[in-house]
Structure 1
Amino acid sequence: MPRATFIDHAGESRTVEGAEGENLMRVAVLNDVPGIDADCGGECACATCHVFVDDAWLDKCGEPTELETSMLSFAATAQPNSRLACQIILTSALDGIVVETPVAQH
């Protein structure tokens, strides 16, 4: 099972495992990761699962869709490495991915 590490605004990290094919937001919710609210349930409609993807992993996540880019425009702290966790699908290629949750989501 692929692993993902979530780092909060204070630098605390939590590594969790998820099934291949599951989105990163769902894995975070199932493991009570702070800072991932997922208000829309993973429908790419709220940006409350906003994460900053570590640069080493960004290319492996693929390009955001137009809808995801639009949703990220509502995130107060969006950066070039911003993604919605609901749009990142775990695969073996993403085993070990590292993301940071924005301070605004804590």
Structure 2
Amino acid sequence: MPRVTFIEPNGTEHPVEIANGYSVMEGALNNSIRGIDGDCGGNCACGTCHVYVAAEWRERTGRQSEMEHDMLEFAEGVREDSRLCCQIEMSDTLDGLVVHIADSQH
């Protein structure tokens, strides 16, 4: 199973395995990762799964959809590398992905 490491704003790392086809948000919720709430259940209708994706992973995780971009306009601390992790679907090509939980999520 592919592995994702969630990094809290204080630097605490949480490596977890997430099955292919599940979103990074679902993996966070299933592993009780603090700061990822997923209030909308993964429907890209809130900003409670805001993370930062490093440049080396952006091509593999894909670009923000228009809907995701619109939702991020309401989030705090949005940067070029901001994503909603409900919109990142796990696959073997994402094994080793590292995401930083946005400061505003804590």
Pairwise mapping of residues 1-106 of structure 1 onto structure 2 (< 5 A)?
1-106=1-106
Percentage of matched positions with identical amino acids: 47
Structure 1, residues 37-85: CA drift from partner, whole Å, max 9, x if none?
1111111000100000122111111111100000011111010000000
- Count of residue pairs the alignment pairs up: 106
CA distance in 1, matches of 2:6, 2:54: 10
CA distance in 1, matches of 2:34, 2:54: 18
CA RMSD in angstroms comes to 0.6
CA distance in 1, matches of 2:35, 2:96: 19
1:96, CA displacement in angstroms?
Answer: 0.5
Deviation >4 Å, runs of 4+: none
* Aligned amino acid, residue 61 of structure 2: C
CA distance in 1, matches of 2:103, 2:63: 24
TM-score (norm 1): 0.98
Task: Could you tell me which runs of 5 or more consecutive residues in structure 1 were left unpaired when the two chains were aligned.
Answer: none
1:104, CA displacement in angstroms?
Answer: 1.1
SS across alignment from 2:40: coil
TM-score (norm 2): 0.98
CA distance in 2, matches of 1:77, 1:103: 7
